[in-house]
Amino acid sequence: MNASLSPDQTKVDTVKLLIDGQWVESKTSEWRDVVNPATQQVLARVPFATAEEVDAAISAGQRAFKTWRDTPIGARMRIMLKLQALIREHSKRIAVVLSAEQGKTIADAEGDIFRGLEVVEHACSIGSLQMGEFAENVAGGVDTYTLRQPIGVCAGITPFNFPAMIPLWMFPMAIVCGNTFVLKPSEQDPLSTMLLVELALEAGVPAGVLNVVHGGKQVVDALCTHTDIKAISFVGSTEVGTHVYNLAGQHGKRVQSMMGAKNHAVVLPDANREQTLNALVGAGFGAAGQRCMATSVAVLVGKAREWLPELKDLAAKLKVNAGNEPGTDVGPLISKRAKERVLGLIESGIREGATLELDGRDVSVPGYEQGNFVGPTLFSGVTTEMQIYTQEIFGPVLVVLEVDTLDEAIALVNRNPFGNGTGLFTQSGAAARKFQSEIDVGQVGINIPIPVPVPYFSFTGSRGSKLGDLGPYGKQVVQFYTQTKTVTARWFDDDSVNDGVNTTISLR
C-alpha pair distances (Å), 325 with each of 2, 103, 288, 366: 27, 11, 15, 12
Nearest alpha-carbon partner for 377 in 391, 390, 395: 395
Number of Cβ within 10 Å of residue 462's Cβ equals: 14
Phi-psi region of 485 (alpha: psi -120 to 50; beta: other; left: phi over 0): beta
The residues, any chain, with a CB within 8 Å of residue 199's CB and separated by 6 or more, are 83, 86, 87, 90
Find the catalytic residue in 154, 177, 224, 292: 292
Q: Which helix (H) or strand (E) holds 380?
A: strand 377-380
The residues, any chain, with a CB within 8 Å of residue 270's CB and separated by 6 or more, are 426, 427, 428, 431
- For the chain, counts of helices (H) and of strands (E): 15, 22
The amino acid occupying position 143 is D
**385 class by beta-carbon count within 10 Å (0-12 exposed, 13-18 middle, 19+ buried):** exposed
CA-CA-CA-CA torsion sign (200, 201, 203, 207): positive
The residues, any chain, with a CB within 8 Å of residue 408's CB and separated by 6 or more, are 301
Q: Is 274 helix (H, G, I), strand (E, B) or coil?
A: helix
Q: Are strands 377-380 and 355-358 parallel, antiparallel or unpaired?
A: antiparallel
CA distance 299 to 312: 15
Q: Is 292 a catalytic residue?
A: yes
Q: Which helix (H) or strand (E) holds 238?
A: helix 238-250
Task: Decide if 106 contacts 95 (C-beta within 8 A).
Answer: yes
Residues annotated as catalytic are: 292
